[in-house]
Structure 1
Amino acid sequence: MDIRQYVIEKGKLAKKASREMATIGTDVKNKALEAMAQALIKNKDTILAANSKDIENGKEKGLSEYMLDRLLLNENRINDMADGLKNVASLKDPIGQVDKMWKTEDELQIGQIRVPLGVIGIIYESRPNVTVDAAALCIKAGNVVILRGGSEAINSNTSLINIIKEAAAENGLPKESIQFIDITDREAATEMMKLNQYIDVLIPRGGAGLIQAVVKNSTVPVIETGVGNCHIYIDDSADLKMAEDIVINAKTQRPAVCNAAETILVHKNIAKEFLPELSKRLKGYGVEMRGCHITKEIISDVKPASKEDWATEYLDYILAIKVVNSIDEAIDHIFEYGTKHSEAIITNNYLNSQRFLKEIDAAAVYVNASTRFTDGSQFGFGAEIGISTQKLHARGPMGLEELTTIKNIIYGEGQIRQ
């Protein structure tokens, strides 16, 4: 069977399973999720052995330390995946939820209820935990999922899929409710992008290259996620110690994720006081700084920043720094280079905080807090399928409700339209 036919067959099986999946009750879905969690714990050694192959292959290919960290599974991370499955099981099921109901002049009773999207395709890179997290959320929201992970994690993903798929099928879910494209050739991903007949929505998770490839080439509706060129603006009224702590957290806690800060904008009035102290702390974490000419005058050993640096999502221990004349210049800079993900202002000026909240166009806008909080679990959603940076049909961390749509149901008593 060629790649195109292989992917089409996966789509057919998924579409058929989605009909049954949409009618499965909450108790059955929760039981399956709990069983999947237990299966991960039971098969830890198998998962770790598969992951070790991917790590070795990654080292041979020259993957960076941070990319290897994204790829790595250990006992704690497997426990976290199992806990994530249990957590999703504990969340309220959105399916069947009535959002609103009203009566028309014709005495028609109309209601809007939550229903599954149907078949969700996910194309992703690097992190094997996405395999489990995505499957869990899609299942709880009554969807069938087709997963296509990156070649660097093929052994880990295959092991995880085999384990959770078997547990799900043994506990009441359709056998084909979790589908996996185990062909690493890019043609398989390209064919997924053309499966309008079988896939209802496609979600890419990964770097800018992957996301743009899917957005440009997919004929299946796409929810764009992930690219995070995130900024922190340090206003001239900011508490400088607070600002230091927030920048350090947003840049260094986990630099290879989409909600890490990539550029800081510093008001000129506090730059000479703020930047030398911040620089000392950043150097302690091994952060490479790239700054504008004013930044370089204040911190002589920073590398000069190019225009490309302002537009780069580093996903690494690299931070761009620009001194700005005003909040207006900071907002203009973010408007030009931001990716509508997460942006923050550090300020004690209420009017400036409100301007920033009102004028910045992003999925998450913060006042005096780290951008690292843009996450489904941190927002109280329990988990997330990704962080949408677009405006349709979801925005920000996407939890269970964002994996559903509405159905209009109408009760009548013989009404006909005049």
Structure 2
Amino acid sequence: MAEIPTATLEDLVVACKRASRQVATLSTDAKNRALRAMADALEAHEAAILEANQRDLDGAAERGLSEAMTDRLTLTPERIARMADALREVASFADPVGEMAETRRRPSGIEVGRMRVPLGVIAMIYEARPNVTSDAAGLCFKAGNAVVLRGGSEAVHSNRAVAAALHEALEGEGGDPAAVTLVPTTDREAIKDLIRMSEHLDLVIPRGGEGLIRFVDEHSRVPVIKHYKGVCHLFVDETADLDVALDLLLDGKLSRPGVCNALETLLVHEAVAADFLPRAHRELAAHDAELRGDAATRRILGESVPEATEADYEAEFLAPIIAVRVVDGLDAALDHVATYGSQHTEVIATESVAAARRWVREVDASVVLVNASSRFSDGGELGLGAEIGISTTKLHAFGPMGLEALTTQKFVVHGAGETRHAVPPRAS
């Protein structure tokens, strides 16, 4: 597989912008063929990708990266297969580009509609996850965009191997490999240079730790889609089926503690706390998970349970740790989420239709779930295919972002010679 070409950063971005014009005009069939070729290339080069990933994992061990970061960095044959399947799934989705919203005839006689169009050139800045290299490339490409990818130093070999496979596929389909541009340097200063290129870039999407996202937001001259962290809550209402609630807790906290849709805080109605908390504590302890509780929780479970601090309720642990608070009702749970939530994902376990409706209506989060695990807050699980990121800001997207969020709309007007004002008489 070819090495990433050496060029200045601006040269690379200019080439990517040039390629974006080609991608924007490709037919749906052409884009789908390229996406399927990319998927095939990932599988064909599995051995090389895994070898490169092992180099990154060896480096991660030397640098003492956290368990959560190492998990995100790790590729396996199964994960590469899922990356390929995600590209094929994106190929199977309806193409949003060119989609026309309902047209309306105005009193002037003109017909006004809105056409969905690509954003242009998107910069992805991310840490650890080499799957983002293919996920972002596939989604941006299907939505008619070109993408500049700047991965972290911890995944440099993996990202290069994945990008090389994607380039091979693009070239094989007659496409411009610059449509998927991987920045060859991991120098953090290069991020500053990249996100100041407002004349070439249309959007920046950072994915990673809160520090990276705040850094990008602070220095960018290009619009930024962001979410700082996922402080996700499960509220066990007094009407909840406690078996269901326990399943939601264990899946949300333990299945992958290091991801942003994992639960970080458990809120329990005081009416069921004495029944539910001992069961929850036993199950969490059996999986070596730590529970930190408020005074009411510690009265039920004993003083051996560590006391939860204000910082614990604000924390995204990304580890098998969960903060717990007993609340006196739905209003208190809503107040807690409003105070400590991160607008990411919030779950209620309840059998009350009224409580569920209030939760859905009043919780300010991009994904709100009733009797379902927080781990469903994922583009693939929500039907978007591979997601490019999650937005907890509300412009221009909110929640997991799929194809449609990578496009915008332009007005299209058809007329039959209508003018807004009277036209002056012609001279002849």
RMSD (CA atoms): 1.2
CA distance in 1, matches of 2:138, 2:228: 19
Tell me the SS of whatever aligns to 1:166. helix
Structure 2 residue 194 is matched with structure 1 residue 192: yes
**Partner in structure 1 of residue 92 of structure 2:** 90
Of residues 238, 241, 246, the one that matches 2:240 is 238
Of residues 385, 405, 409, the one that matches 1:406 is 409
TM-score, structure 2 normalization: 0.94
The range that moved more, 149-158 or 75-84, is 75-84
Tell me the SS of whatever aligns to 2:205. strand
1:415 CA drift (Å): 1.5
Of residues 156, 163, 166, the one that matches 1:154 is 156
**Partner in structure 2 of residue 40 of structure 1:** 42
Question: CA offsets per residue over residues 23-49 of structure 1, 9 Å max, x none?
Answer: 111111111111111111111111111
**Partner in structure 1 of residue 322 of structure 2:** 319
Tell me the SS of whatever aligns to 1:303. coil
The range that moved more, 406-415 or 52-61, is 406-415
Tell me the SS of whatever aligns to 1:92. coil
Question: CA offsets per residue over residues 286-337 of structure 1, 9 Å max, x none?
Answer: 1111111221222223211111111111111111111112211111111011
The range that moved more, 138-147 or 286-295, is 286-295
The range that moved more, 68-77 or 195-204, is 68-77
Aligned residue runs from structure 1 range 222-371, under 5 A: 222-225=224-227, 227-300=229-302, 301-371=304-374
Tell me the SS of whatever aligns to 1:132. helix
The range that moved more, 209-218 or 39-48, is 209-218
**Partner in structure 1 of residue 125 of structure 2:** 123
Count of residues in Structure 1 that have an aligned counterpart in Structure 2: 414
CA distance in 2, matches of 1:408, 1:376: 28
**Partner in structure 2 of residue 54 of structure 1:** 56
1:169 CA drift (Å): 2.1
Question: CA offsets per residue over residues 356-392 of structure 1, 9 Å max, x none?
Answer: 1111101111111111111111111222111211111
Amino acid at match of 1:218: S
CA distance in 2, matches of 1:242, 1:149: 39
CA distance in 2, matches of 1:86, 1:395: 25
CA distance in 2, matches of 1:296, 1:182: 52
Tell me the SS of whatever aligns to 1:224. coil
Aligned residue runs from structure 1 range 199-210, under 5 A: 199-210=201-212
Contact kept, 8 Å, 1:345 with 1:368, in 2: the verdict is yes
Of residues 105, 108, 121, the one that matches 1:106 is 108
Amino acid at match of 2:315: T
Amino acid at match of 2:409: I
**Superposition misfits of 4+ residues, deviation over 6 angstroms:** none
Question: CA offsets per residue over residues 163-217 of structure 1, 9 Å max, x none?
Answer: 1112112203223101111211111111122111111000111121112222222
CA distance in 2, matches of 1:114, 1:92: 12
Contact kept, 8 Å, 2:240 with 2:351, in 1: the verdict is yes
CA distance in 1, matches of 2:175, 2:97: 16
CA distance in 2, matches of 1:173, 1:408: 29
Amino acid at match of 2:263: A
Tell me the SS of whatever aligns to 2:177. coil
Mark the runs of 5 or more structure 1 residues left unpaired by the alignment. Answer: none
Question: CA offsets per residue over residues 38-94 of structure 1, 9 Å max, x none?
Answer: 111111111111001000000011112332121111111111111111111111111
Percent identity between the aligned chains? Answer: 46
Contact kept, 8 Å, 1:28 with 1:173, in 2: the verdict is no
Aligned residue runs from structure 1 range 71-90, under 5 A: 71-90=73-92
Mark the runs of 5 or more structure 2 residues left unpaired by the alignment. Answer: 1-6, 422-428
**Partner in structure 1 of residue 398 of structure 2:** 395
CA distance in 2, matches of 1:408, 1:160: 38
1:99 CA drift (Å): 1.7
1:403 CA drift (Å): 0.5
CA distance in 1, matches of 2:299, 2:221: 50
CA distance in 1, matches of 2:69, 2:223: 29
1:226 CA drift (Å): 6.0
